[in-house]
Amino acid sequence: MPGITAKSGVICPAGLSETENTAGNKPRGPLIEHSGRSAGMPVKEPSHQVVPVSEPRSLYLHIPFCPSICPYCNFHKMRRNEGLVAAFLERLTEEAGALYAHFGGELDTIYFGGGTPSHLSDGELAAVIAILERTWGWPAKKETTLEADPLTFDRNRLDTFGVLGFDRLSIGVQSSQDDVLRFLGRLHRGHEGLAAIDMALEAGFNVSADLMTAVPGQDTARDLHTLAQTGVPHLSVYTLTIEPQTPFARRGVTVDQDRDADDFELAHTVLHGYGLERYEVSSHARPGFESVHNRVYWRGSTFFGLGPSAASFLPVRGAIGERRKNHVIKAWLAGEPAEVLPVTAEDYLLEMLMTGLRTRHGVELDTLAARTGLHLEERYRPVLEDAFKQGLLRRVGRRLIATEQGLLRLDGLLRRFFQQPPQD
């Protein structure tokens, strides 16, 4: 799920990918697990009143059903059947009603991720929408996104998506090369993925497409040029990641780290030539087509998560907030309460470094201090001074931004903040 997920009592930034659940992989960049500070290390909370984060105005809905299971995917997903979808809709009605009772108001963004949300029938999508319409309202005021597989829609169905209220499609293309798609276990062929983009653009949707890189046998430059030439205004470019317990892991598939780094730089070079600028580690867009929903995660705002395995970040009176992680579908259908993890000021500061430094906007130092009562420049002065000297970070006004070299080495850079005891 795009967002920050929690697992095994540990908060983990899940890469905040554009269509992470359709792609089933994690984007290039830091994936550092943490639970505040290292075990046994005291955390000093701020003594003065902090400025709370705002009420949630964005919603992520996890729809776990897929037409097939890809060998690299480690996200919560399953094959669909009518009985299971009916149970999903019944439980979703209960969950949305309970959450809305505590947090009302209209939504700015809604994101249907998965899984493959477009694998639901038109009637099932309409039933999901009706649940949201009875609570927060539908569609969202700024952006309403549906993740879609290329084989789950044609031109007529795109018209239906529009009538239902979606204005943005995020299409899991992954590659334009048939051999690469077969290796990845995708059911569509290269020309079908490109045709899906063309149809969605013709239908008037704001379109994003997924591309996976560092895949064995892939001509990455060819894929980058081919997808950019469709005119798609947003591309999410992810590195193939081999996750434990996936078929790829059991088969011993590996990713060449030098190839990974080369493809990361190649993506910036090629896509820049088409007017698609990298505004986040894995995200490239023309001006005005950046993801509004994902900005919520990157800038530390609160959000709702509905559905099995979905995560929320909710405001709590007198504290930074709390993260809630839903259980997988069996326990979720049974109504078991979500796992709740409090977010300390130190947690929030480190998470905002992890997410904010992934973006071209960077980290707003004054906003971070106001929300946490902690001053990053004082608390981690040695790490910052060293990063400035190495050309990994720069200041622009009161924002802290990673340089191109810093983005390339972001994982190692962020580990320094976790390993360096904060200075009071």
- 1-360: CATH topology is pyruvate-formate lyase- activating enzyme (3.80.30)
Domain ranges across the chain: 1-360
Query: CA 173 to CA 171: how far, in whole Å?
Result: 6
Give residues with Cβ within 8 angstroms of 285, minimum separation 6: 233, 234, 235, 276, 277, 279, 291
Angle between helices 155-164 and 122-133 (to 10 degrees): 10
Question: How many CB atoms lie under 10 A from the CB of residue 393?
Answer: 22
| pLDDT reported for residue 69 | 75
d(CA 283, CA 145): 16
Please report the pLDDT score of residue 51 as a whole number.
60
pLDDT of residue 70: 76
Q: SS3 string of the chain?
A: CCCEEEECCEEEECCCCCCHHHHCCCCCCCCCCECCCCCCCCCCCCCCCCCCCCCCCEEEEEECECCCCCCCCCCCCECCCHHHHHHHHHHHHHHHHHHHHHCCCCCCEEEEEECCHHHCCHHHHHHHHHHHHCCCCCCCCCEEEEEECHHHCCHHHHHHHHHHCCCEEEEEEECCCHHHHHHCCCCCCHHHHHHHHHHHHHCCCEEEEEEEECCCCCCHHHHHHHHHCCCCCEEEEEECCCCCCCHHHHHCCCCCHHHHHHHHHHHHHHHHCCCCEEEECCEEECCCCCCHHHHHHHCCCCEEEECCCCEEEECCCCCCEEEEECCCHHHHHCCCCCEEEEECHHHHHHHHHHHHCCECCCEEHHHHHHHHCCCHHHHCHHHHHHHHHCCCEEEECCEEEECHHHHHCHHHHHHHHHHCCCCC
CA distance 124 to 117: 10
Contact 326, 305 (CB under 8 A): yes
> What pLDDT is recorded for position 39?
36
In 3D space, the residue among 238, 329, 230, 239 whose CA is nearest the CA of residue 283 turns out to be 238
Q: What was the pLDDT predicted at 94?
A: 98
The separation between CA 236 and the C-alpha centre of its own chain, rounded to angstroms, equals: 10
The amino acid at residue 52 is: P
Is the omega angle on the peptide bond into residue 287 within 30 degrees of 0, that is, cis?
Answer: no
Cβ atoms of residues 110 and 223 within 8 Å: no
Residue closest to 221 by CA, chosen among 157, 261, 270, 264? 270
Angle at 102 between CA 89 and CA 129, to 5 degrees: 30
Write out the chain's pLDDT in tens, 424 residues: 333 332 222 234 333 334 333 323 334 333 334 444 433 344 444 444 556 667 899 999 999 998 877 767 766 765 678 889 999 999 999 999 999 999 999 999 999 998 899 999 999 999 999 999 999 999 999 999 999 999 999 999 999 999 999 999 999 999 999 999 999 999 999 999 999 999 999 999 999 999 999 999 999 999 999 999 999 999 999 999 888 888 888 888 888 999 999 999 999 999 999 999 999 999 999 999 999 999 999 999 999 999 999 999 999 987 899 999 999 999 999 999 999 999 999 999 999 999 999 999 999 999 999 999 999 999 999 999 999 999 999 999 999 999 999 999 999 999 999 888 877 6
pLDDT at 77: 61
Here the tokens at position 374 are: 């902690």
Answer yes or no: are the C-beta atoms of 235 and 284 closer than 8 Å.
Answer: yes
